[in-house]
Amino acid sequence: MSLFPTERKCSVCKKAFLGWEEWRYRRDDKWFCSWGCLRKHDKKARANRANARRLDRMERSEVVELLRKGTSPQRIADQVGVSVQAIMYYKQKAGA
């Protein structure tokens, strides 16, 4: 246990703060300056998991086919109801 805090950077807002090893607001290797930032991180993580499940329900091959036809990732994301990042992940994975 360190007697002195170490300067950390919040994973959400990027603010610098002083935190001890026993700091309460952290998940794995990510540190958060406040309860609010920790909750924002958790909410985003839950949304990402929900997006992945939604995309699992839709045939990924359909998504890749739409990408190959030239449909914009934003339009596919709106149709499927997932984030553009999820569509871009499958675009990169499929090499479309």
CA–CA gap between residue 91 and residue 83 (Å, rounded): 13
pLDDT tens digits for range 1-35: 567 788 999 999 999 998 887 778 888 889 999 99
CA–CA gap between residue 17 and residue 53 (Å, rounded): 35
Bridge partners, 17 (sequence order): 8
pLDDT tens digits for range 20-74: 877 788 888 899 999 999 999 999 888 877 776 666 666 677 888 888 898 998 9
**Do the Cβ atoms of 15 and 33 come closer than 8 Å?**
yes
